[in-house]
Structure 1
Amino acid sequence: MAKFPALPATVDRYVREFLNRLAGRSGNAGDRAVLHSELAELGLAKEKGQRLSLPASAVGSITDTLEPVQSIVTVTGDGGGTTAPDAPTPAAGLSSNGIFGAVILEWDAPAYNGHNHTEVWRAQVDDRAQASLVHETNGSRYTDVTGNTTLHYYWVRHVNSAGQVGGFNALAGTAGQGTAIISLADLMLESPELSEQPFSVRNIGTEGSPDYVLVFNGYLAVNGPVNISQLQSGELQNGTALTVGQGSIELSTGSDGFGQMVITGSGGIATNDYLVLKEGRIESYIYTASSGHVRYKEVRRTESGIGRHNQSVVIPAYFKSQPTINLYPRDITVYNADYPDQSQRLELYHSTPMPHGAIEGAWVFKPYARLLAGGWQQDGGQERPLPGGQQYHHLYQRRWIR
């Protein structure tokens, strides 16, 4: 039996005792498991067929997978002995079946005593002299995975336990060619770890006009680039990204978990300016070698219009949060040409924007304006300063207010 590794301390006590007994580390002398390959090496048994993986169900008896090697025993006066195996008979019944990227070869099981294995030879031309040995098997079946649709020619011959080689199955080769079309039967996978097949075929059309598609039932891990000609629907998990155009466009999730689109130059955002679209907002970042990426600005929606002093102004329902109001004067004329040395200052301010009571999503506010002036004023033929040296004038009125 192959060397059994030491068991970790976390293994259950009963499991440990069972495995140590199989490995011959405990129990009575000679209590040790024997592998199929060890029996075959000793020439005591041979496997039935060729199994690419473990059986899906439990094996009821060792004879389900092994058969004894038939040897001829003669009895002599000194107690007996074993004669040499039979000469191998020529192989027969070779056939081929092409599947996706591979060729399945089968032949008749040998009927002579002392058989050890069968050789599989292959060439790209129908000339046995140019063929080369590609496999040795103790069964009567072999799958040659070519990975392509190239036409090959095959021959087989038997070898007994003494190393004696028999004749080839025929002078002409048996043609075999892998296909480029996957049949549903080729997608059936045999593994003890599979609870269900990973592939299925589904009709997404109607019974009268069927449209069959292949469905992959499981998780897909791809090592390398993926070319998607048409993606009808799909979803990227958090922490994954889909890049387009040398990394200039990226669909991914930000550190906050929200989906985003990043648009930048060739090679990604490492040393480029970039734009981010996320949660309905657009943000831009500028790259400098000294500071790295610095947020430049956030693009926002703007609305403009003309309002009068103390007028209720309604902002359309485009803003999800409280908007920012900026007021600018429409027109400023000379306050009083008779007093050019008089200082003037226009003050603009507004009330706090509040949600509109009747229009959902709209906002309302009131703008205010006043002109602040300072200096001297002619009053009754005499000049005197205004109280505090200032006087106020509301734009929508034409009177002084002290």
Structure 2
Amino acid sequence: MTKREFRGGRSAQSNEENIEILTGQRGSGLDRAVTYRDLASTGIATLKKSGSGYTIQKQDDGSNSAGVGYPTTPAGFEVHGGFSSIMLRWDAPKYRGHAYTEVWRATTEIFADASLIATTPATVYGDIVPTGSTFYYWIRHVNEKNKPGAFNATLGTLGQTSPDISDIIDDIGEQMRQSELVQDLTSDIDKVGARVDTTEQSIEYINKNGTKAYKALWSKKASASGITAGIGLIAKSDGTSQVAISASQFFVFDPNKPGNLTPALAIDKGKVIIPQALIESATIQIIQAQEITADYVKAGISIETPTLTSAVINGAELNIGYGGPYNGYHTRITANGVIYTDYLIASGGTLDNMTINKDCKIYGTLYGVDGEFTGTIHASQIIGDVVGAKGYTLNSINDSGDDDTSKSFNVLGVNVAGNPADDLSDRLLVMPPFTMHWSLTGRARLYFVATVSVSTGQKNVYSSRPIVSGESGSHGTEFIPSLSVKIPAGADSKLVTLTVTTHMTSLGAGNSFRTITLQAATVPVQIFRTSKQLS
């Protein structure tokens, strides 16, 4: 970075060069002054209009996310597999300026194999994949400046979907068809009346590795009029065993409760019936239930219900009222809190930093501390401190060669109408500033006194600094600032006048003369009420 280019000294040339540097007309531009307009146009600062001009609106300390922080490492990352989707969830990020979360996926746990599959502003994501899938996942947060943070971990987090139950059933059916035990239970018994047949076998055979192996089979079958039932067991030396039951109905019951034959387990018409069960882990493809009580319910794709009662929904996107203009719904709430709706009814609440783009009708009372309007305001009645303005012409003054010690001039007169009957309060009238031109001949002292006065006695006075001329005389201008005066409440109209009195004292042996001029000009007169009260 080069040193500053400003020039030292107080000479007129130094001041001129420094002003050119500040305005960017001279030098490299690194020392150009930055104005409020520059800050506002670039979005660095927000300006607020005040009575003395514009000020920079104070930013909060971060609790309202005024700044944009660096994305934090994701926490609480979990992966849950279903049948046709894998659900990912994580804790909501707490840094300022969060925009969205990236979701990466791979078929291995090595990130180099991963690819970006989705971005979401929510804290959950459902990845729709085929049944029996295995994937690894990573996530990272991104802020509003598109700056990504660190991934949740180096190695991927495993997610798996369950295989299709029909495929599992088909696989078990194939194993049953190849089972010696099932073949034994389904073999025919001599169809003579009713008969029970028992089979007990201990078999030695050569397995696929060419070594001896053993298996033992026991079965008992019953047959009556062509209807068979059976039960059997088989154990193999390779560590496998089977138990098979051949029956159109199967019951398990407590024999110690002969008066209550409710089954603990039953199979009837291909369906398993269990009155009560304790199951630690289960995979169910389709479930129909009258009532479900659970600590946690996770859905990877969607939950459909006509009524959702006593729910706290965190980190979600809500779409309500099908057929509307917002993604096909009448009301839409995004995951980052933006509400879109085509109709809103509210009976209370608080709004901060709101922008109304189109027409708004207020049928009640509107209360405000201050504000700014750039358009036209139509009102049948305004009560309060409303500033009105009306243009008036200053009286021209051209008084030359006068040696009077003092002389008064009428600069402006304004008639103010009386108060409305329903607004009996004081008003404040503000006279405009103006500039007097003067010249002195001879050695003398001159000063100006400006007075704004009301016909009822109220007034405000301004006295200028003394002006002293030499023997050869001098000339110049005198700025008279804006003066205000309070007009007391009352039904009668009042006259407000602005006068200037010059006071001159000779300081030399001879006579001194002065010349006073004021050019006629149209100027605004303001009053803190409606401008209709000015006439």
- Per the TM superposition, whether the score is higher than 0.5 is no
Instruction: Name the TM-score, length of structure 1 as normaliser.
Output: 0.28
The structure whose Rg is larger is 2
Higher relative contact order (CA 8 A, sep 6+): 2
